[in-house]
Amino acid sequence: MNKNNNIFKLSVLSVIFILSLSSTLIVNGDNDFIVGVCTHLMSPPVSLTTVTPPLDAAIGAGLASVRDTPYWSSVEFVKGQLTEIYEFNDFMVALQPRTSLSKLFILGNGNQHYNNGQKPQGTNITVAFTNYVQWVVNKYKGKVQFYEVWNEWDLDDPGNPNTATHYMQLANAAIPVIRANDPNAKILGGCITSDGMDQLFGDRVIQQGLATKVDGLSIHPYNFCGGTDNTPEVWFRWVNLTNTRWTGLRNGVATPLYITEMTWPSSHPSTCGSTLEIQAAYLARVYFLARVIPNIKGMWWYDIFDDGVDFYDREHNFGLLDHNWSPKPAYFTMKSITPFISNYTYDATKSVLASGSLYKLAFYRNLTGGAQHRVISAWSSNNAATVTTTLTTQSVVPLDLVKVWYTTPYANMDGQWVNSGFKWTCVGFDCTATVTVGKFPVIFDVTGVKCACLP
Ligand SMILES: *[C@@H]1O[C@H](CO)[C@@H](O)[C@H](O)[C@H]1NC(C)=O
Ligand SMILES: *[C@@H]1O[C@H](CO)[C@@H](O)[C@H](O)[C@H]1NC(C)=O
Ligand SMILES: *[C@@H]1O[C@H](CO)[C@@H](O)[C@H](O)[C@H]1NC(C)=O
Ligand SMILES: *[C@@H]1O[C@H](CO)[C@@H](O)[C@H](O)[C@H]1NC(C)=O
C-alpha cells in the first residue's frame, strides 16, 4: 500500500486515487489475525549468529510471531536444578530488538529424569512438570505472549478417552501456574493433532472444561497426506465442520482457535510431498480460508527453514526457506499475502466459496474518514484449470485496468499493486470486469473511486 506510486501510471483517475489514499491513514482492524511461524531456534546447537538470519527473514515476510520450545529436558538437565541453557538466552537476546515478533512458547515435552522421558503422568511427575512450568513462565514473564500446554499430547492413542483425561490432569495443574506467574500471557491448550480432531480427543478435552480455562485451543490440522483430499479447500470444510461440532459442545460458544502448526511439505510425492509451486499456492489459499472462520485467531507455518536437504525426508522440506536460508517459492508467496491476512477483515456478504472451482473471498480495511480499501482474493481450487468470474465496484470516474497484487512467486509481486490485463467496463457508476484466475490467489483492488453520492 505504501508503494502505490509506481503503478498508477495512467490517467487523471490515478492521481485522484493516489491523493485519496495517501491523505488517509489506515485504521488498525479490531480483529487482526496472527501470521506466525514455527522455529527450532531454542535447541542446541544454535547461537546468536545462527538465530538472527531466520528471524530477520520472518520479519521480512511480514510474520508477526514465532513459536518455539524451551524444552523441559534442557531446563532440568540435572534433576532438581532448573537452569537456562545459553541457546534460550541467545534466542531471547536476538528477539529483544525484534519487537514485531511475538513469542509463543510450548511447555513440554518429557524429561529424562521422569517416566523415562515419556509423557509426564502421575501426581509426582505432574508436580515436577509444574515446577518446570513455573520456572519458565517466571523467567520470561512479560516477554512471552503465548504459552501452549504440551505439544501433541494425543499423538499416540488419540481415540482413547484416557489420553484426554491424562492431558486434563496435566493442563489443570499447569494452567493456574501460568496464570499466577504471568497473568498477561495467553494460554493455549490442547495442541490437538489431525487424528485428535477426528478421534474426538478435542471433543473430550472440551467436555472436560478445557476451553473455559484457556484463552484458546490450539490445533494442528494437517491434511497433506490426504491424497486428492490434501487441498486447502478440503481442509477448510474439515476444519469448519470440526469447529462447528466443538461450538455445539459449548452450546453455541465458539472457542478461539490457534492453528499453531500448518504446512505442506515440498518433499518427494512418496512422502506426501507437493511441488514447491503447490506448496506456495496451498500456503496462500489456506491462509485466506483460515480468515473465513472468525474464531480462528492465527496460524503458524511449520516451519521457518528446512531441517535438512534430503528430498525423501518430509521433515527436511517443510520450510519457507531452504536449509541454507534461501527463500523457497512459499516464502515469496507468504510475503505477498501477509499484509492482507494480518490486517484486512473478511466480508462474508461479498464472498463466494466454492462455486465450482471458484473461490472469491472479499476483504476490506477501514481507512480514516469512513473510507474502506476493498479487495477480492480469487483462485481456482482446480490446480489444472483456470476459472473466470466477474468483479464489480462503483466509481465516480470511469475505471481503466484492474489493479492486482500477485501471490505467484514467479510474477512481479514484490509487495505492490500492478495493472493487470483485465479492464473495467463502467455504465454510470457501476463497473464490472471479467477476470480469470488459476491456482494462485490473485488479489484484485475493488475499492472503486467513491464520493458521498455513492452508497
Ligand atoms: C469498519 O467500519 C465499519 C463502518 O464504520 C464498521 O462497521 C466495522 O466494524 C469496521 N471494521 C473493522 C474491522 O474495524
Ligand atoms: C511421591 O512423592 C512423595 C513425597 O515426596 C513420596 O512420599 C511418594 O513416595 C512419591 N510417590 C511416587 C509414586 O513416587
Ligand atoms: C461450516 O459448517 C457449517 C455446518 O456444516 C455450515 O452450516 C456452514 O455453512 C459452514 N461454513 C462455511 C463458511 O462454509
Ligand atoms: C499490519 O498493520 C500493522 C499496523 O498498522 C503494521 O505494523 C504491520 O506491519 C502490518 N502487517 C503487515 C504484514 O503488513
Ligand 4 neighbour 338 (Cβ under 6 A): yes
If residue 289 lies in a helix (H) or strand (E), which one and from where to where? Answer: helix 276-290
Whether residue 379 is found in the same domain as residue 237: no
Whether residue 357 is found in the same domain as residue 387: yes
Q: How far apart are CA 438 and CA 366, in angstroms?
A: 29
Whether residue 15 is found in the same domain as residue 66: no
Domain boundary among 306, 325, 343: 343
Domain boundary among 292, 316, 343: 343
For residue 370, the ligand 1 atom closest to its alpha carbon is: 5
453 within domain boundaries: no
C-alpha cell recorded at residue 201: 480427543
This prediction's pTM: 0.93
Whose Cα sits closest to atom 2 in ligand 1? Answer: 366
Whether residue 20 is found in the same domain as residue 109: no
Whether residue 9 is found in the same domain as residue 120: no
Whether residue 58 is found in the same domain as residue 21: no
Q: How far apart are CA 377 and CA 320, in angstroms?
A: 22
Phi, psi of 149 (to 5 degrees): -85, 100
Ligand 1 neighbour 364 (Cβ under 6 A): no
CATH of the domain at 192: 3.20.20.80
Ligand 4 neighbour 65 (Cβ under 6 A): no
Ligand 4 neighbour 62 (Cβ under 6 A): yes
C-alpha cell recorded at residue 46: 544454535
Q: Could you read off the pLDDT tens digit of each residue along the chain, which spans 455 residues?
A: 222 222 222 233 333 333 334 334 444 444 589 999 999 999 988 899 999 999 999 999 999 999 999 999 999 999 999 999 999 999 999 999 999 999 999 999 999 999 999 999 999 999 999 999 999 999 999 999 999 999 999 999 999 999 999 999 999 999 999 999 999 999 999 999 999 999 999 999 999 999 999 999 999 999 999 999 999 999 999 999 999 999 999 999 999 999 999 999 999 999 999 999 999 999 999 999 999 999 999 999 999 999 999 999 999 999 999 999 999 999 999 999 999 999 999 999 999 999 999 999 999 999 988 889 999 999 999 999 999 999 999 999 999 999 999 999 977 666 789 999 999 999 999 999 999 999 999 999 999 998 777 66
For residue 236, the ligand 3 atom closest to its alpha carbon is: 14
219 within domain boundaries: yes
Domain boundary among 343, 360, 384: 343
Q: How far apart are CA 120 and CA 172, in angstroms?
A: 13
User: Could you list the residue range(s) of the whole structural domain that residue 235 is in?
Assistant: 34-343
How many other C-beta atoms lie within 10 A of the C-beta of residue 309? 11
For residue 338, the ligand 4 atom closest to its alpha carbon is: 13
Whether residue 45 is found in the same domain as residue 187: yes
Q: Which ligand is nearest to the CA of 28?
A: 4
Centre of ligand 2 from the C-alpha of residue 79, in Å: 15
450 within domain boundaries: no
For 342-386, strand residue ranges (E) read 345-346, 352-355, 358-366, 372-380
Ligand 1 neighbour 29 (Cβ under 6 A): yes
Tally of domains within the chain: 2
Whether residue 336 is found in the same domain as residue 358: no
Ligand 1 neighbour 294 (Cβ under 6 A): no
For residue 62, the ligand 4 atom closest to its alpha carbon is: 13
Dihedral angle at the C-alpha atoms of 436, 440, 441, 445, nearest 10 degrees? -60
Whether residue 180 is found in the same domain as residue 227: yes
